[in-house]
Structure 1
Amino acid sequence: MNGPVLRELHSIADFEDVLRLFDGIWHPGPANTPITVEMMRALSHAGNYVAGAYLDGRMVGASVGFFGAPAERVLHSHITGAAAGRGIGFALKLHQREWALARGMERITWTYDPLVRRNAHFNLTKLGARPEEYLPSFYGVMNDAINSGDESDRVLAVWRLSEPQVLAAARREPYLVEVPPGAAVGLGECDGRPVAGRTDTATVLIAVPADVETLRRTDPEVARSWRHAVRDVLGGLLREGARVTGFHDRHYYVVERAR
């Protein structure tokens, strides 16, 4: 199958297509619309990043970003949505990277839910981005179909566009982190629930649940226990100056403690 066609968006009709696409992905309530047609129009007119991906003339992905601080060097990717399983999200990120590099930018940032395994794998392994800040309840409580009323903890992912693992990602070479001997499981899993472990070693592994989105609907209490456990362990280590170096086996964050 040919890859998607990507282009910047400028018309009201384009932005209405983006809104329909996002509504189909997140099913937000009236008070939780992630972005509006008017805001996309303003961002695009001011020279920010609004782009769509198309297959057979149909929009299958879109991304909206704006300049961060310092504006000459950072693009903040506010929201990206794509049809699953076709490489569309990856194609959008590569398009976004080329757009930023053409404007002399050094990095792209975005936030994502640290409990969603596929997002962690995509961001860290496929793209080579790194979580650098833990942001508790960043958007407040979100009542769309995916977040199901859970607190909106996020991590800030930083994509340094010329680092070796990012250059490799642009060549479609995933970054596979090696776990050194002596690494401890700082947060594990037993019977689907989080289990606290050791965090006093140089390398700490932090598990996330297999499918937190389903868990929010079927067992909200367990989903909340994961939220608070990851907030305490991963958030605590990042506050202490630790750095996340990768995502191992589609299961664990690999964290190197500050020395």
Structure 2
Amino acid sequence: MAEIRNLDGIAESTAAAALYRLVFGYTEPEWGLSPRLIMALQRNSGTAIGAFGEDGTLIGFCYGFTAVEDGEIYHYSQAAVVAPGAQGGGVGRLLKQAQATAARATGARSMRWTFDPYALRNAHFNFAVLGATGIRFMPDFYGEPGTDRVLVSWGLGGGAVTRTPVVASVRTAASDTVAAPDPVDRGRLRRQLMDQFGAGSRLAGVARAGDGVDYVFENAPS
């Protein structure tokens, strides 16, 4: 069982920054994560939480910060990474749960994060495991082509996740073992997601459909 706790000191923050680069495959220095930023987040209502194996090695890491929209305080989870050898063992779920506990202590009522709707690895975890909801489609989120994201919200109040009737589904052309559809399919899916979110629907889940996946939408709460 992994030990989940706040990172302690510059050495662990440096290890977290190295794990972040390893998991995402970043080699350019500008894509790195500063250990000093990690420590500053911890001391200013942010989160920097590690998962440690039995030998004390860092095997997972997540970080985020407190944010506000329309007067509502929420915690934005920027990234969560798990070392390749530890993936599939529930470490990601434990990190998210610890992050939620820390977020509640700041007064946040929800957590938010984004995911790439064309790469389906995280979709099942977001919706089926955590019970989060996709609330907004954000084209070119990072200011450059190919960075479309869906913004997810996860309520921190506890209790069962309730669902309203399904109103639509959007079919992707990729299975969850494929990183992304081809460019034609990306364009089609982008338009469909914009239409659904633009109509006020929310993304409630994903379901396998033959060799593809359906994104399942529902009516937004009134």
- TM (normalized to structure 2)? 0.84
Distance 1:60 1:121 in 2: 22
Uncovered stretches (5+) of structure 1, i.e. residues with no partner: 142-149, 167-174, 181-201, 216-221
Q: Deviations over 1:50-103 (max 9, x none)?
A: 110011111111011000105873110011111321111011011111222233
Distance 1:66 1:35 in 2: 14
Aligned letter for 2:150? V
Which residue, 181, 184, 209 being the options, matches 1:225? 184
Q: Deviations over 1:93-135 (max 9, x none)?
A: 1111122223332100001111222211000000000110111
Contact 1:204-1:257 at 8 Å conserved across structures = no
Q: Which has the higher strand share?
A: 2
Aligned to 1:65: 64
Aligned to 1:162: 157
Q: Deviations over 1:189-234 (max 9, x none)?
A: xxxxxxxxxxxxx322433512342x5xxxxxx5322322221101
Aligned to 2:147: 152
Aligned to 1:209: 174
Which residue, 238, 245, 252 being the options, matches 2:197? 238
SS class of match (2:76):
strand
Distance 1:6 1:165 in 2: 24
Aligned to 2:82: 82
Counterparts in 2 of 1:56-135, with a 5 A limit? 56=54, 57-69=56-68, 73-83=73-83, 84-135=87-138
Distance 2:120 2:92 in 1: 15
Aligned to 2:35: 37
Uncovered stretches (5+) of structure 2, i.e. residues with no partner: none
Percent pairwise identity? 28
Contact 1:65-1:79 at 8 Å conserved across structures = yes
Contact 1:52-1:59 at 8 Å conserved across structures = yes
Kindly state the Cα deviation for residue 236 of structure 1 after the two structures are TM-superposed. Answer: 1.8
**Is 1:253 matched up with 2:218?**
no
Contact 2:6-2:49 at 8 Å conserved across structures = yes
Kindly state the Cα deviation for residue 162 of structure 1 after the two structures are TM-superposed. Answer: 2.1
Aligned letter for 1:159? W
Distance 1:153 1:85 in 2: 26
Moved over 6 A (4+): 177-180
Aligned letter for 2:73? R
Distance 1:249 1:112 in 2: 18
**Is 1:5 matched up with 2:8?**
no
Aligned pair in 2 of structure 1 residues 248, 32: CA closer, same or farther (>3 Å)?
A: farther
* Count of aligned positions: 212
